[in-house]
Structure 1
Amino acid sequence: MLNTVVSQPEFKGMPMQQLQDADQTSLYVTADYHHLTLSSHFQPIFSISHRRPVGYEGLIRAVDTQKHSHSPLELLAIPQTGVENLSLDRLCRRLHMHNFARQPNGEAWLFLNLNSQCLVSERPDAGFMNNLFEQTGISPHRVVIEILESEIDDRHYLRNLIRHFRDLGCLIAIDDFGAGHSNFDRIWELEPDIVKIDRSMIRGAGTSSRVERILTGVVSLIHEAGSLVIIEGVETEREALVAIAANADMVQGFYFAKPQPRITQNLKFAEVIDHLLKIQQRQRFKNSHQMNQDFKKIESLFRQAVSEFSITNAFDTSTNILFIEKRAVRCYLLDEVGFQMARNVYSPHYQQKMDTRFTPLLSGDNANWSHKHYHFRAIEHPGEMQVSRPYLSVADSRMCITVSQTVVVHNKLYVFCCDLDWQDD
């Protein structure tokens, strides 16, 4: 019974109340705290592949006697000592777990935020969460503890804290990764079950293809480290599409659902995901079609250039054929084992835009490119034109695509390469 919960020492002066919900027979729990009424809201966390919510983050809400809302930041500014911070943190966790237990949530996870700073200063005992599990009937494996790792400088204590919650049976999530001073070394060291990527990254990726590529790389690295990825703060259709394209496992944000005190069955999410996937499929088809159209002209010019070189053995002259295409940046010739046989030949159009800051990288003399995909793929498929994916060229630090093909001249095998400018529109 909650009356027994209220009497525990850490809640002295913070009585919890039961309020009858007019629409349901279940009881919804609130708490009085410094003339504010605190309550729980839950925001769904959706699995993209499963097309349904698989978890809910517990979020605190506060209103005063005049029913005016106070932000979480205002609430968190009230405690003046570490002990008071810990008491408020525990009060919030208790509210969320009791309210979560009283609602239809299936087997979904409950995500709980911890006030990392007060945990460091107070070093509380391990009994609190065990008592909550017993009181609410929520199994530890259904609780995900969110830790803002950037707030804890004591790495030894942070590891022990995570070990403690893991020993209880909880999952661990690193929150707000990508904001502030988040570092990948914490991911390798702490091995969280889940990493939540901060809103700032999806906001940037929604407007910049460059940031979108970075986000995709970050998700890939986190997966390589063995953690699932949630992209939080998704607020627009464009951001939702980017999150899906980045291969996130789960998404959270206002675009999908806002925090609510009551957990309801969200049947629309599957429809939303299906809608997004259809948009993505259409965009992929459009991009593929456009790329195919672009490459029809490039392919024709490239084959002419390779043919010209095979007949005349005049590399510089043969490259002029390719430079009719404005995307063509540079051509270079490699031998069978990847050594560059001559200097780069640059398009006259591109020479006007050369960035002299990268002068040390512009010359390919004595370079060996055998480790690059455009070389070894051409060697593996002699006589067939190879087209790379967009990548960052070391020659000038710009995104490019390389077209390559083997060609035999005087019984010697070469790889003819042409880099195409592939900057974002």
Structure 2
Amino acid sequence: MQQTHDAEQTSLYVTADYHHLTLTSHFQPIFSIPHRRPVGYEGLIRAVDPQGIPHSPLELLAIPQSGKEKLSLDRLCRRLHMHNFAKQPNGETWLFLNLNSQCLISQRPDAGFMTALFEQTDITPRHVVMEILESEIDDRQYLLSLIRHFRQLGCLIAIDDFGAGHSNFDRIWELEPDIVKIDRSMIRGAGTSSRVERILAGVVSLIHEAGSLVVIEGVETEREALVAIAANADMIQGFYFARPQQRITQNLKFAEDIDHLLAIQQRQRFKNNHQMNQNFKKIETLFRQAISEFSITNAFDTSSHILFREKRAVRCYLLDEVGFQMARNVYSPHYQQKMDTRFTPLLSGDNANWSHKHYHFRAIEHPGEMQVSRPYLSVADSRMCITVSQTVMVHNKLYVFCCDLDWQDD
């Protein structure tokens, strides 16, 4: 490795020669959304030839041919990143280091390399996050021992590129990483599809349930940044906020960017809530008419058709106090033309019990008050819907009157 003097700093910047290429470290910030500042930096390798022409990381990683050579390059990259990170004003932040999992499997190196590197750079292990591409390692026992080794040193463990390739949730339960980095492909899909956006939010929620923090990486547009924030990610990384740079500098603009995004999100929530309230004014009026009609006449079919004046209304059904369905589903004439006969086994609610559903137990807990569920996937036809429900007393018997509203993505 070589040292080059930076005219603007008193410290020396470390580079390395490798197969006629000059290797340098670049650092990309990883920002905490609630803290509104960088909390870590991912070390990324960059290579240029003697003519100053850059070579991609993929071209660099294709040079070593044997497992031993790959391990040597992997260690060289880590050494560069550690030395250069130590020489910069990084504060109380993490350094994220990528491991070449394949060469570790083939070479099974001794465990002393990182220990020596910590001593050489004076970086404490608690400031280092080891990124592992778990999909590359089939030997679970070795993977667990590798993670155990770095944890014993005091490092944090991150699973990288989750959601790409053959990533499985069982690895999250088994490995118990401190951080999970969600692959760029998920945020790219979520940025253009409401369905994928919901899936991303569900993935983040599951990872949180497993006890890991979440970084969404590869954020490149304002829309993707808004989706990442809405999905409840803890940290965020990508070109939209900052590109990798040799020098770590204070990014005061990130706080402004986050404030801007949160303001957009707040306005959108207000707009959506206003629109939903407008939509529900009509639905609420029809629903209360249907409830009143049913309480007087006990004619469920007739009462249901009052609601079908609203085009979003799909089906009505009646439950008893303990959740059993008391009558067949009554479908809107508008919806019957769209019914997917492939789901015929699910269309009938005869003898079904829905007591575990929020629209039933919330109605029971709040008698006489209209309840509106959040959007969910209906088991009746595998479509997104919202359920409006309310208890109603007929002949001294308590029922829960329910109406599903079609809530497909616009």
TM tier, smaller: over 0.9
Distance 1:408 1:226 in 2: 45
Q: Which runs of structure 2 are paired with 1:116-195 in the superposition (5 Å)?
A: 116-195=101-180
Query: Hey, what does 1:32 align to over in structure 2?
Result: 17
Does residue 296 (structure 1) correspond to residue 281 (structure 2)? The answer is yes
Q: CA deviation at 1:73?
A: 0.3
Match of 2:374 among 389, 401, 407: 389
Q: Deviations along 1:325-362, whole A, 9 cap, x unmatched? A: 00000000011111101100000000000000100000
Distance 1:257 1:55 in 2: 12
Query: Hey, what does 1:235 align to over in structure 2?
Result: 220
Q: CA deviation at 1:126?
A: 0.8
Distance 2:199 2:261 in 1: 21
Q: Deviations along 1:274-306, whole A, 9 cap, x unmatched? A: 110111111111100000000000000000011
TM-score, normalized by length of structure 2? 1.00
Distance 1:267 1:408 in 2: 60
Query: Hey, what does 2:251 align to over in structure 1?
Result: 266
Distance 1:79 1:372 in 2: 57
Match of 2:57 among 68, 72, 85: 72
Query: Hey, what does 1:81 align to over in structure 2?
Result: 66
The one-letter amino acid of 1:68's match is I
Query: Hey, what does 2:407 align to over in structure 1?
Result: 422
SS in 1 for 2:71: helix
Q: CA deviation at 1:22?
A: 2.6
Does residue 58 (structure 1) correspond to residue 39 (structure 2)? The answer is no
Distance 1:110 1:383 in 2: 56
Distance 2:231 2:397 in 1: 43
Q: Which runs of 4+ in 1 moved over 2 A?
A: none
The one-letter amino acid of 2:134's match is E
SS in 2 for 1:97: helix
TM-score, normalized by length of structure 1? 0.96
Match of 1:45 among 30, 35, 57: 30
Query: Hey, what does 2:350 align to over in structure 1?
Result: 365
Q: CA deviation at 1:117?
A: 0.1
Structure 2 portions without partners, runs of 5+: none
Query: Hey, what does 1:110 align to over in structure 2?
Result: 95
Q: CA deviation at 1:320?
A: 1.0
Identity %: 90
Q: CA deviation at 1:384?
A: 0.7
Distance 1:367 1:401 in 2: 19
Query: Hey, what does 1:217 align to over in structure 2?
Result: 202
Query: Hey, what does 1:324 align to over in structure 2?
Result: 309
Q: CA deviation at 1:77?
A: 0.3
The one-letter amino acid of 1:325's match is E
Q: CA deviation at 1:272?
A: 0.5
Distance 1:68 1:23 in 2: 25
Does residue 353 (structure 1) correspond to residue 338 (structure 2)? The answer is yes
Q: CA deviation at 1:363?
A: 0.2
Task: Give the total of aligned pairs.
Answer: 410
Q: CA RMSD in A?
A: 0.5
The one-letter amino acid of 1:104's match is P
Q: CA deviation at 1:23?
A: 2.3
Q: Deviations along 1:21-69, whole A, 9 cap, x unmatched? A: 2322211000000000000000000000100000000000000001000
Does residue 19 (structure 1) correspond to residue 4 (structure 2)? The answer is yes
